[in-house]
Amino acid sequence: MPQPVKQEDGSHFHFTMLPEGRSQGPLPTQHKQNQQKHHQSQSTSQRIKQDPNRFPTTRPTNHTKKLTKLTKEIAHIRRKLAVERTRHSTLTEYTTKAVKDASVASTKAVEHTKALTTRVDRLRNELSQTHRELSVVKRDYKILDRVTEGLKRDLRAEKRRAEENEVGEQRVEEALQELEEERQRCEILEKRLRHERAKRKDDKLALEKVMDLVGTRVIKIW
């Protein structure tokens, strides 16, 4: 029977069928090397069988390479998972702190708004009371003005009577004194009225500032 022999042709090997008469000739060098490798693998297998705990010194197979690659990928994924867990824990902590700070700020804002609302109500009550007092002052001023006009008329009448009768000079002086007293009272009331008007204007400005402040605070809270 002709036997296949591995021959080198450039960078490739191919099999050539030798005739049966040449099968008894010397073997090529490559064939000898294959036999030596076969003997080495047999001796290695024997050593592994004799010592099963010995780590094999053979080249890793594709399965071993894939397993190593998967092991590296698993380790990489575990590292990434640990980083993500740390990041998630940090974000959770920051979020919890932010929520707590927001709750505290909201509580303070509500308390501040309540205080401002109370102050606004108090200012409104004071302003209403000032309006009532100012109305009373205006009414008294009108009454005094009418009284003054009446006294002036009386004074003019007294003057006419004094001209007609010199005896009435004393009464004229008394009337003038009363008129002067009434004039002084009118001046006092007028000063009080001007003071109340200025106070009313200041209260109105303060109320407007507080209302603006309260409106700004409410907008920031919402």
CA distance 149 to 199: 29
Residue 20, H or E segment: none
Mean pLDDT across the stretch 62-72?
87
Residue 36 half-sphere exposure toward CB, CA atoms < 13 A: 7
Do 23 and 3 meet the contact criterion of CB atoms below 8 Å apart? yes
Q: How many CB atoms within 10 Å of residue 99?
A: 10
Do 151 and 182 meet the contact criterion of CB atoms below 8 Å apart? yes
| CATH number of this structure's domain 111-221 | 1.10.287
**Per-residue pLDDT tens over the stretch 212-222:** 777 655 455 44
In this prediction, residue 60 has a pLDDT band, given cuts at 50, 70 and 90, of: low
State the Cα angle at 138 between 136 and 144, rounded to 5°: 105
% of the chain residues with pLDDT over 70: 66
Domain ranges within the chain, ordered by starting residue: 111-221
**Per-residue pLDDT tens over the stretch 161-211:** 767 776 556 766 787 888 888 888 888 888 888 888 888 888 788 888 777
**Per-residue pLDDT tens over the stretch 19-42:** 444 444 444 455 555 555 555 555
